[in-house]
Amino acid sequence: MSLKKGETVPFVKLKDKDGKIFNTDHFKGEKAFVIYFYPKDFTPGCTREACEFRDRYLEFNELGAEVIAISSDSEASHTKFINKYNLPFIFLSDKNKEARKAFGVQSSLLGLIPGRETFIFDKNGILRMRYNNINASQHTTTALKKLKKLQDEN
């Protein structure tokens, strides 16, 4: 199943870096949010992507949005990744790939690499844009452009 524009954020419970349960719809009704799926902590593309989200995190906050990153890495790996690169947003561990399935994130490169995909939700938890590109460099800019457009619509 693939999440489509106009649908509500799927409800999935995952653990954050501290092992606490976090629901994917936590910000629904409060603020817009960006959920991005990435292949693996500490790999060059994923590190670059996380650092781009970090470097522009204030812009997301100024637009009233939160950033959530999801991979199948463990909570301990996320903690090391967050600490090494000073990453200020939420990281969730999807070891069983239940979030990937619920959101319909496909693997890339003949199914060998977990997909890289970004979802932009409005404050009501409605999917407003889905961006799928294995190239890590455009996800942050694409998400910010869509959030600005959503803000201008209101």
pLDDT tens readout for residues 97-145: 999 999 999 887 665 677 899 999 999 999 999 998 777 778 999 999 9
Domains and CATH numbers, the chain: 13-153 (3.40.30.10)
HSE-up (13 A, CA, CB side) for residue 43 = 13
Q: Which of 9, 35, 46, 136 is catalytic?
A: 46
**51 has catalytic annotation:** no
Output the CA torsion sign for 117, 144, 52, 65: negative
CA distance 146 to 118: 11
CA distance 1 to 66: 25
Phi, psi dihedrals of residue 98, rounded to the nearest 5° = -70, -35
Q: Which residue has the tokens 């995190």?
A: 57
pLDDT tens readout for residues 13-65: 999 999 999 999 899 999 999 999 999 999 999 999 999 999 999 999 999 99
68: left (phi over 0), alpha (psi -120 to 50) or beta: beta
Q: Of 75, 112, 115, which Cα lies nearest the Cα of 93?
A: 75
Q: Is 39 exposed, middle or buried (0-12, 13-18, 19+ CB in 10 A)?
A: buried
